[in-house]
Structure 1
Amino acid sequence: MFESPQTKNKWKQLFWIVVGVNATVIIGIIWLLFLPSPDINPPPIQEPNEKGTEFTVSSTKQNLNQLMNNYLNTLSKNTPLAYTVSLGEDVQLRGFIDVFERKIPLIATFEPIMQKNGDLVLRQKSIAIGRLHLPKRAVLEYVRDNYPMPEWIGVNPSQENMYVAVTKMKTKSDFKIKVKEFNLTQNQLIFTIKVPNKAFGF
């Protein structure tokens, strides 16, 4: 018994409808995953100018690498996503991005730019996510929304940078830290640390 041409055409139409629905669902999921969202930059907090003594501290990339990653390990201890930051010729962030239940390696490099107030801006230079080609903004949005970050680090996808508010770091003894020099090429990392008088008992 043979199918009529009309029946064959109906089956073809149904087949393409199913294909179209599946494609729409997949595209919709990808679009939602990388949907841009507005940057949120909290207003700066004005803190009282407490009297204290300033010290200048010099470090190396190796020492700072160890310090930073010990801190990040503690920060991401109870989260499924962990990442590392390393200082070489530039600042490099390594982690993973979850796509369709697969972990794809993420490597992003940033150029550090010192600010007059003692903070740092990390301007994105390049990004590699396995063999995927994704917009830089979408990747930074994923990092911002999924990677555990200290409250004094802001990820700004629209500007393709990260703002490291070193001056807003919270320490147990209320030390205030500023970047004085951040030269990765010459391995010169210099900070000023202001110790409040109350820490000395006066």
Structure 2
Amino acid sequence: MANEKTETKRNWKQYFLGLFGLNLLVFTTLIVFLMATPPRSDTLPFPQSIDEPGAQFRVESTKADLNELINDYLDQVLLADNADFSIWIDEDVHLTGAFRAFGVPIPLNVRMEPVVQANGDLVLTMTEMSLGLLDLPSNRILHYINQQVETPEWLYFDSENEQLYVAITQIDIQSNFRFSLQELDLTDDRIAFLIKIPRAGAVSAE
């Protein structure tokens, strides 16, 4: 009986050491890869305000409604089996989740400050970022995520400036509608979108 307990203890110790060694190897490889790869940014779109005739409507929302909408949409457009993310909007934008690197899940936590652009797009500036327990520059982490996770065409990684550019005006909502972000006041919970129906689209829909 004592021999069985000793053998079980030895097996658990070997398993722990093996798992620790595997994780250490993964994180070491990841650090070397991140530090050896210079951060590169996507080519950002030129922000344009499209002025065309048609009807337009202002739609107001709340942070609670926007959280639900974003996460439902995120499940549909995040084209990756190796990543699982969720977004929570409070006083800022908080992204949490994990993606797999070398077969090991690595937690990701990001806090971002949103700034509405004049044309209705959105820029998210990184204020905090952590990748597992690694203390690495945010620009390299952003670059790595951009390389590993397939994201929608309207999401641009400005890794060098530690920002994400969300081209809201480019999002395809499978209709003739165009929409843009008009107001995003997270402190007072005032969020508004501008929805526009181009005149040509309105005519073709009749």
For the superposition of Structure 1 and Structure 2, which TM-score range results when normalised by the shorter chain? Answer: 0.7 to 0.9
1:117 to 116, 119, 127: 119
C-alpha deviations, 1:137-181, integer Å up to 9, x for none? 121112212233221110111010000111111121131111111
- Cα distance change on mapping 1:149 and 1:114 into 2, 3 Å: same
C-alpha deviations, 1:18-74, integer Å up to 9, x for none? xxxxxxxx9676423451242121554979754211100000111111111111111
Number of corresponding residues: 177
Q: Which of structure 1's runs of 4+ aligned residues deviate more than 3 A?
A: 26-30, 42-50, 97-101, 198-202
RMSD: 2.5
Greater mean alpha carbon deviation, residues 44-53 or residues 90-99: 44-53
Matched residue type, 1:166: I
Question: Structure 2 length as normaliser, TM-score?
Answer: 0.75
The match for 2:40 is 38
Helix, strand or coil at the partner of 1:141: helix
Q: Does 1:161 align with 2:159?
A: no
The match for 1:197 is 199
Matches within 5 A, 1:127-138: 127-138=129-140
1:67 to 69, 81, 103: 69
- Cα distance change on mapping 1:148 and 1:68 into 2, 3 Å: farther
Matches within 5 A, 1:1-202: 30-34=31-35, 35-41=37-43, 43-44=45-46, 49-76=51-78, 79-99=81-101, 101-201=103-203
Q: Which one has a bigger Cα radius of gyration? A: 1
- Cα distance change on mapping 1:87 and 1:48 into 2, 3 Å: closer
8 Å Cα contact 2:44-2:165 kept in structure 1: no
Helix, strand or coil at the partner of 1:32: helix
- Paired with 1:28 and 1:77, the residues of 2 have a C-alpha distance of 25
What residue ranges of structure 2 are gaps of 5+ in the alignment?
Answer: 1-26
